Amino acid sequence: MSQPNPCFSINTALETSRLILDIIMPPVGVYLKTGCGKDLAINIVLTMCGVIPGIVHALYLNYTK
């Protein structure tokens, strides 16, 4: 019976998919992390002003809270 690979886990896969989602669709990543609230509204406004501010805000929320 083979041993599971300790370098790859479900948590790593979830973090990777969250990172990709934050870059492609920042409001969706924020919604999955914080739900429907002021953070989502702020992210939608930032994304409409420019994609880069929305991505930075999404990454900030997902990796600091």
Residue 46 lies in a domain: yes
pLDDT band per the 50, 70, 90 thresholds, residue 11: confident
Residue 20 lies in a domain: no
Residue 55 lies in a domain: yes
Q: What is the mean pLDDT of residues 23-37?
A: 93
pLDDT surpassing 60 at residue 1:
no
pLDDT surpassing 60 at residue 47:
yes
Residue 4 lies in a domain: no
Residue 1 lies in a domain: no
Burial class (CB in 10 A: 0-12, 13-18, 19+), 43: buried
Residue 33 lies in a domain: yes
Residue 30 lies in a domain: yes
pTM: 0.79
**Number of structural domains, the chain?**
1
Q: What is the mean pLDDT of residues 36-58?
A: 96
pLDDT of residue 7: 64
Residue 49: domain span: 26-65
Residue 65 to residue 59: CA distance in whole angstroms: 10
Residue 2 lies in a domain: no
